[in-house]
Amino acid sequence: MNTFIQQTVTNKSIAKKSIVSAFVSSALISSVLLSGCSVATTEPAKANYKQQVVELVSSIETGDSAPIGYINPHKYIQHNLAVADGLAGFGAVMQLLPKGSAKAQVKRAFQDGNYVVTHTEYNFFGPKAGFDVFRFEDGKIVEHWDNFQQISAVNLSGHTQFDGTTIVTDLDKTKKNKALVANFVNTILIKGDMANIGQFIGSEDKDYIQHNPNIGDGLSGLGKALGELAKMDMPMVVKTNHKILGQGNFVLSISEGTFMQQHVAFYDLFRVENNMIVEHWDTVETIPAKADWKNSNGKFGF
């Protein structure tokens, strides 16, 4: 479902910059640390994890320093490969960001146990669509993953990378919806068993709303995109699924593979309704060579 015909080629020249700038809230944290301010170590006032993360991500634009207290300053595992581990690794990132240029508007957020997922519209060295995943431990954020992609124009069906449903519903169906998406990823994306795609997505174009900037709605849009990739002899290959996170009608799949002959991370957000996948948003990010990593945690490590 994350078939980007031109995206990775377009992003190749900005991939390193995109990754460096990926976790925008880290810049604010670095700024506070470098200026000598202390970080609160006591657990913040009662708030759910999702709200804390939304406040943290949004703080890069609002300038609010209070959400820094949601992070454990003694244990912060970073999976953005262009940022050094821990809070100290963010100082250099801050220096790269032109003052007052950042934008961070969370479009979707949901919580799965100790994990929180956000889907955010960023302006960070240019406009970016981004997913962030945060893990909490003992009431504090201790780990972070992300995946970014340049924002493009509306797709063939007139959808952006952010519009569509934002409200989390069907909380009683979380387990079932996560199992459906896990089965879809394994059956269709990894094994390539397209004969069974009707088990997951309806046959009419209206049955599947697509937010990938290079694919139109429905199975017809997907088929056209796959055909173009085949002509280019550059197939999309999903090799491994690393994590499925979800709440109610939203499920995020985090996978690894190749696209346009690049080693990439696939982040696919699906909306499920009546036991069928009905909407899709995604990002694909090139994974840098290991020699260029600023930390040893890897892109995944769930």
Interval 213-253: pLDDT, tens: 999 999 999 888 877 877 787 778 999 999 999 999 999 99
Q: How does strand 276-286 pair with strand 209-210?
A: parallel
Q: Lowest-pLDDT range, 17-26, 40-49, 193-202?
A: 17-26
Residue 223: the pLDDT is 82
- 3-class secondary-structure state, position 174: helix
pTM, two decimal places: 0.85
Alpha helices in the chain (DSSP H): 7-12, 15-20, 24-34, 49-62, 91-96, 174-184, 218-232
Residues 6+ apart with CB under 8 A from 281: 119, 129, 161, 162, 164, 211, 212, 268, 269
Residues 6+ apart with CB under 8 A from 182: 241, 244, 253
Residue 189: the pLDDT is 92
Residue 265: the pLDDT is 98
Which has the higher per-residue pLDDT, 149 or 229? Answer: 149
Which has the higher per-residue pLDDT, 172 or 32? Answer: 172
The answer on pLDDT for 192 being more than 70 is: yes
The answer on pLDDT for 180 being more than 80 is: yes
Q: What is the mean pLDDT of the chain?
A: 85
Residue 222: the pLDDT is 84
The answer on pLDDT for 93 being more than 80 is: no
Q: How confident is the model at residue 34 (pLDDT cuts 50, 70, 90)?
A: very low
* Amino acid occupying residue 203: S
Domains belonging to the chain, first-starting first, are 10-152 (3.10.450.50), 154-290 (3.10.450.50)
289-302 pLDDT per residue, tens: 999 999 999 999 99
Instruction: Give, in order, the Cα–Cα distances in Å from 65 to each of 27, 93, 107, 188.
Output: 11, 17, 21, 44
Residue 23: the pLDDT is 40
Residues 160-180, mean pLDDT to the nearest whole number: 98
